[in-house]
Amino acid sequence: MDNSLLQVLTIPTAPYPDQRPGTGGLRKKVHVFQSRRNYLHNFIQSIFSSIDLRDRQGSTVVVGGDGRFFNRTAIEVIVQMAAANGVGRMIIGHHGIMSTPAISCVIRKYKAIGGIILTASHNPGGADGDFGIKFNTANGGPAKEAVTNKIFHISRTIEEFAICPGLHVDLTTLGKQKFDLENKFKPFTVEIVDSVESYANLLRNIFDFAALKELLSGENHIKIRLDAMHGVVGPYVRRILCEELGCPLNSAINCVPLEDFGGQHPDPNLTYAADLVDSMREGQYDFGAAFDGDGDRNMILGKHGFFVTPPDSVAVIADNIFCIPYFQHTGVRGFARSMPTSAALDRVAKATKIELYETPTGWKYFGNLMDAGRLSLCGEESFGTGGDHIREKDGLWAVLAWLSILANRKQSVEDILKDHWLKYGRNYFTRYDYENVDIDAACEMMEDLEILIVDKSFVKQRFAVKDKIYQVEKADNFEYTDPVDSTISRNQGLRIIFSDGSRIIYRLSGTGCDVATVRIYIDSYEKEQILEDTQVMLAPLATIALKISQLHHRTGRSGPSVIT
Closest CA to 135 of 295, 258, 274, 21: 21
Query: Which residue(s) pair with 469 in the sheet?
Result: 464
121 catalytic per annotation: yes
**Angle 181-76-41 from CA coordinates, rounded to 5°:** 90
CA 109 to chain CA centroid, Å, is: 21
Sequential DSSP letters for 361-406:
SSHHHHHHHHHTT--SEEEETTTEEEETTSSS--HHHHHHHHHHHH
Closest CA to 48 of 160, 140, 197, 207: 160
**226: enclosing H helix or E strand:** strand 224-227
Residues in the chain: 564
Contact predicate 96/75, CB 8 Å: yes
Q: At what angle do helices 209-217 and 395-409 cross, to 10 degrees?
A: 70
> What sign does the dihedral 64-70-72-74 (CA atoms) show?
negative
503: which residues sit within 8 A by CB, 6+ positions away? 495, 496, 497, 521, 522, 523, 524
Could you tell me the CA-to-CA distances from 558 to 265, 535, 551, 555, 564 in Å, in that order? 22, 17, 9, 9, 17
Buried b / exposed e over 406-424, threshold 16 CB at 10 Å, is bbeeeebbeebbbebbeeb
| Eight-state DSSP code of residue 322 | G
> What sign does the dihedral 533-536-541-546 (CA atoms) show?
positive
Rounded-to-10 torsion of CA 480, 460, 342, 466: -160
Phi, psi angles (nearest 5°) of residue 8: -100, 125
- Angstrom distance (rounded) from CA 444 to CA 107: 41
Catalytic choice (121, 198, 376, 524): 121
Contact predicate 440/550, CB 8 Å: no
CA 87 to chain CA centroid, Å, is: 27
Phi, psi angles (nearest 5°) of residue 55: -75, -30
- Angstrom distance (rounded) from CA 140 to CA 363: 11
User: What is the number of other CB atoms lying within 10 angstroms of the CB of residue 219?
Assistant: 5
> What sign does the dihedral 123-126-128-134 (CA atoms) show?
positive
Q: Which residues are tagged catalytic?
A: 121
